[in-house]
Amino acid sequence: MSTAASAWAGLAKKPVRQQQMPVHSRPERYSLSPLERPAASCRTCHLATVCSEGAAESVVLHCLSIKQALDVSVVDAPAIGVLVSGVVKVSLGSPGEGGSVLAFHYPGEMIDLTAYREGGAGIRLTAVLPVRLCVLSAGHFASGGSRLIEGYQRLLTHFAGGLVHQLAEARMRQGQSAEQRLAAALLDITRRLAATTQDVDSVVLPMSRRDLADYLGMAQETISRQFRRLESLGCIEPRGRRIMLCDRSRLEALALAYKRC
């Protein structure tokens, strides 16, 4: 086992299965949920350049069961992750306290594990659905060739674009009403899951309404009331966890309308 694999072996409380790349082409029987299937092939993965340049042995696959956590506070080296399948919840606080939900990550997305580690103690990454996460320790780039370093720089550029979008979303939410925040969240989740689910007209919420409410800064009663409000406006039709987007244009208009100071 490589040094990187040894360092990451104890991140979760429960034993974590670790395997070498490639992982996408391995024949398996997947759940009926699209979110639990691999989001991409190795050739289209964000780490493809890194792996093709001979660093595949540095990529470790971590498998987490539902509610199992990856404690980023023990990460020593800069690390990048690609979520192959499943959904990850990022929260601040201990499980017993419930914690505060900071973000969600969906299949195919990159995760800057170093940024979460440097965010302070208590930040946890928890599997909402069974997770397969490919992790690369950035320390391996130091001894790599120029093409490997260029590949790492492209990864950082991709991170920067994602962070700009997240910051813009966060700033907009600060001036929005509860109704507008929920409308924007439903559209955002639909957009980010579309590549995996191939569905732009509905979304199956992978997280609980309690976690979604916490993420949007609402009480559970408030978010339930806002779901009913959007339904009465003809924007959505809730069917359990599946939310049908009945009037996408109106939903988008609500999401873009925010209070200006």
7 and 94, same domain (yes or no): yes
> Which residues are paired to 152 by β-bridges?
none
Give the separation between CA 179 and CA 93, rounded to whole angstroms.
27
User: If you ran DSSP here, which 8-state letter would residue 30 be given?
Assistant: -
Identify the residue whose tokens are 């950035």.
138
Both structure tokens of 65: 């069961």
Q: Is 187 found in the same domain as 153?
A: no
CATH number at residue 248: 1.10.10.10
Residues 73 and 100 in one domain: yes
**117 and 203 co-located in one domain:** no
Show the domain range for 190.
Answer: 176-256
Same domain (yes/no): 215, 250: yes
Q: Alpha-carbon distance 105 to 84, whole Å?
A: 11
Residues 238 and 124 in one domain: no
Task: Centre a 10 Å sphere on the Cβ of residue 198 and count the other Cβ atoms it contains.
Answer: 8
Q: Where among 130, 165, 200 does a domain terminate?
A: 165
Give the domain CATH number at 67. 2.60.120.10
CB atoms within 10 A of CB 64: 24
Place of tokens 């992790």: 135
> Which CA distances in Å does 135 have to 66, 103, 114, 180, 235?
19, 19, 11, 35, 39
Tokens of 12: 């979760």
> Are 67 and 103 contacting, i.e. CB atoms less than 8 angstroms apart?
no
Is the pLDDT assigned to residue 253 strictly greater than 90? yes
Q: Do 44 and 156 belong together in one domain?
A: yes
166 Cβ contact partners less than 8 Å away, ≥ 6 residues apart: 103
137 confidence band (pLDDT: 50, 70, 90): confident
pTM higher than 0.85, yes or no? no
Q: Are residues 140 and 207 in the same domain?
A: no
The CA–CA distances, whole Å, from 27 to 34, 105, 199, 235 equal 16, 25, 25, 40
DSSP string covering 78-136: -EEEEEEES-EEEEES-GGG--EEEEEE-TT-EEEHHHHHHT-TTEEEEESS-EEEEEE
Alpha-carbon distance of 126 to 133, in angstroms, equals 12
Same domain, 92 and 197: no
Q: What does the block give as tokens for 209?
A: 């309404």
Among candidate residues 102, 137, 165, the one where a domain is terminated: 165
102 and 215: one domain?
A: no
The residue-averaged pLDDT of 72-99 equals: 75
Domain boundary among 145, 165, 185: 165
Q: How many residues does the chain have?
A: 261
Number of domains in the chain: 2
Q: What count of other Cβ atoms lies within 10 Å of the Cβ of residue 247?
A: 15
Q: Is residue 261 one of the residues assigned to a domain?
A: no
| Structure confidence by residue, pLDDT tens digits, 148-187 | 666 666 666 655 555 555 555 555 556 678 999 999 999 9
Q: What is the pLDDT of residues 34-74, one digit of tens each?
A: 676 665 566 667 677 666 666 666 677 889 999 999 877 66
For residue 212, what pLDDT is reported?
95
Residues 116 and 153 in one domain: yes
Instruction: Return the half-sphere exposure (C-beta side, CA atoms, 13 A cut-off) of residue 214.
Output: 17
- Tell me, yes or no, whether 134 and 13 share the same domain: yes
Where is average pLDDT lowest: 21-25, 39-43, 76-80, 110-114?
21-25
